[in-house]
Amino acid sequence: MLKAFPWMAALVLAILVLAPGARAQTQTPTPTPTPAPECIAPAKPGGGFDLTCKLARAAFGQAGMGLAPLHISYMPGGVGAIAFDTITARRPAEEQTLVAFSSGSLLNLVHGRFGRHSLRDVRWLAAIGADYGIVLVSSQSPWKTLPELLAALKDNPARVTFAAGGTIGSQDWVKSALVAAAAGVDHKAMRFVAFEGGGEATAALKAGHVQVYAGDASEVADKLPPKGPFRVLAVMSEKRLPGLLAQVPTAREQGVDIVWPSVRGFYMGPKVPDAAFQAWSQRFEQLMASAAFEKLRAEHGLFPLAMTGPALQAYLDEQSRRFADIAERFGLHR
């Protein structure tokens, strides 16, 4: 029949050729899936950045806000410098990416440890808890109090090696330098070993490679006696901390005027749209107002501090001014 009517054959061929295209035009496009939220810990596992991400993951999972589980990734390098540069230069607009920070991050920014970057190069999202410096030794250490450590330092600084989660000028280094100064030891004569974050530093202390770690309270909440491998000689807070460290005296109680609070929280890339940034800010505000979050925060070794928006920015500006004074004292300039 097609031979009798050549035009019919042409019509059938045209229908066969055009039909797939016509069907494609009527199909509903498949929506691009929203990426799972990610929390970047700017160090190796086991330190304060890791803990900050894990607290957020547990809290959002418990709150049931409809978010996919928070994925934690690790980006060590420069104690936060690599992560900061990555977010500002290569991943500035990711709406689902959070980066953990601490006061140590701010200290490194002020000292120029993050290169050309400044405090205004990212969007500071939320502070979710406070931490405090501690003076940590092995549970087998001969020193039972901070004055005993200071006496050993004064007698022979070369026999006491500090661990630091970072190089000269890092937060742990500054805390160590303040302890050494309390013993009358110049910071230039202080012995220290730099590690990439608190996880490595506590591992070195446990192994006996170093004698002291001026770390953070949250990093050792689950590693103290009677079963843990460490002993805390002092907490760098204005008054004694509650919970597991309630029996540990402050540095001030032992005659050493060192107070070192540390904020822990998150920032986002500089080009994250306002709507996405505000959505995350509101989630954190809702989260931190709950009793369930207070309980989780305490379980993760952190203490009350909850800020977003202008209040957080003002706090970070004040901290930066304080760190600039510390940079002047110890000659830590850009």
Q: Domains along the chain?
A: 38-130+263-330 (3.40.190.150), 134-254 (3.40.190.10)
- The percentage of residues in the chain with a pLDDT greater than 70, rounded to a whole number, is 88
| Residue 28 pLDDT | 56
Helix, strand, coil % over all residues of the chain, rounded to 5: 45, 20, 35
pLDDT for the residue numbered 167: 85
Per-residue pLDDT tens over the stretch 81-103: 999 999 999 999 999 999 999 99
pLDDT at 110 exceeding the cut of 90: no
What pLDDT is attached to residue 63?
93
- Statement: residue 4 has pLDDT above 80: no
Q: What is the pLDDT of residues 131-185, one digit of tens each?
A: 999 999 999 999 999 999 999 999 999 999 999 888 888 889 999 999 999 999 9
pLDDT > 90 in the chain, percent: 67
pTM score, whole prediction: 0.80
pLDDT of the residue at 279 = 97
pLDDT at 9 over 50: no
Mean pLDDT of the chain: 88
The helix/strand/coil state of 310 is helix
Phi/psi of residue 165, each to 5°?
A: -80, 70
pLDDT given for residue 47 in this prediction: 83
Confidence of residue 321 (pLDDT cuts 50, 70, 90): very high
Q: Is the pLDDT of residue 254 over 90?
A: yes
Q: Residue 18 pLDDT more than 60?
A: no
Res 228: pLDDT? 79
The pLDDT of residue 27 is: 56
How far CA 67 is from CA of 32, 71, 76, 221, 256, in Å, comes to 17, 11, 26, 29, 46
pLDDT of residue 187: 92
Phi and psi torsions of 38, nearest 5°: -125, 140
Q: How confident is the model at residue 15 (pLDDT cuts 50, 70, 90)?
A: very low
Helix (H, G, I), strand (E, B) or coil at 213: strand
Kind of pairing between the strands at 71-74 and 38-41: parallel
Long-range contacts: 183-186, Cβ < 8 Å, 24+?
Answer: 183/149, 183/150, 183/151, 183/153, 183/154, 183/157, 184/154, 185/153, 185/154, 185/157
Q: How far apart are CA 160 and CA 151, in angstroms?
A: 11
Whether 236 shows a pLDDT value over 80: the answer reads yes
pLDDT of the residue at 263: 94
pLDDT digits (tens, 9 = 90+) for 118-132: 999 999 999 999 999
> Stretch 178-206: mean pLDDT, rounded?
92
pLDDT at 177: 96
For the chain, how big is the Rg over CA atoms in Å? 26
Strand 161-164 with 191-194, pairing: parallel
Q: Supply the pLDDT for residue 106.
A: 92
Highest mean pLDDT among 211-225, 235-249, 266-280: 266-280
Q: At what angle do helices 309-330 and 171-182 cross, to 10 degrees?
A: 50
What does the alpha-carbon distance between residue 315 and residue 221 come to, in Å, rounded to a whole number? 26
Distance CA 122, CA 97 (A): 12
pLDDT-wise least confident of 65-79, 81-95, 259-273: 65-79
d(CA 108, CA 170): 6
